[in-house]
Structure 1
Amino acid sequence: MIQFSLKCPNDHRFDSWFQSAEAYDKLAAARMVSCAVCGADGVQKAPMAPRVAASRETEARPLSQPRTAAEQAVAELRRRIEKGSEDVGRNFVREARAIHEGEAPDRPIRGEARIDEARKLLEDGVPVMPLPFMNPRKSN
Structure 2
Amino acid sequence: ETIINTYFFSRENDLMYWDGEIVGPDETPYEGFVFKIEIIVSPQYPILPPSVKFVTPIFHPNVNFFTGEVCIDVIKDNWTPAWTLHAVCRAIISILCDPNPNSPLNCDAGNILRCGDKKGFNNMARMYSLEYASKYK
What TM-score comes out, normalization by structure 1 length?
0.27
| Richer in strand (by share) | 2
Q: Which has the larger radius of gyration?
A: 1
What TM-score comes out, normalization by structure 2 length?
0.27
